[in-house]
Amino acid sequence: MPASPESLLEGEVAGLGRFGYAPVGDAAPDWAGMWQLLQGDFATLQRTRVPAYAEMSPWPQQGARIYMRRRLLADRLFDECRELYRRVHGEGINSELVEAYTLAREAYEDAVLDFGKARAMLEDVFTQTIDRAA
């Protein structure tokens, strides 16, 4: 049985959920809680223990917030893609919706790349702070 557009989209949602994706909400970000989901990304053979958000000094904590904000931006752009994707498949394909989806998807992909750049930046901050303190 071929996958439906909705099942393909929900598979992507499930994959992103492993990294803390949640639909847009009105609440302020839970930095400490979000960090719990993402801090394992920074464990290495040399850095076996990555500190909790509250344990970090201001410099790495700011880097962690930048990293998490980039992830939140990617999440929000993904939500826009998700809605446009549903509209394209629900309302029928027309050039305006396809072009809107294309723009949204490109913005999402750029945000994912920026998230990766923020990860590299935070890795450098950890090398200069946490690793040196160990």
The pLDDT averaged over each successive group of 10 residues in the chain (134 residues) is 64 64 69 94 91 96 96 94 93 91 97 97 95 81
Residue 46 included in any domain: no
The reply to whether 72 falls in a domain is: yes
Report the distance separating Cα 120 and Cα 49, nearest Å.
Answer: 18
Helix (H, G, I), strand (E, B) or coil at 70: helix
How many domains, the chain? 1
| Domain assignment present for 31 | no
In a domain, 20, yes or no: no
In a domain, 19, yes or no: no
* Closest to 14 (Cα-Cα) out of 107, 69, 82, 65: 82
Backbone angles phi, psi at 44, to 5 degrees: -135, 175
112: its two tokens: 């994912």
pLDDT for residue 133: 79
Assigned domain for 22 exists:
no
Q: Is residue 23 part of a domain?
A: no
125 in any annotated domain = yes
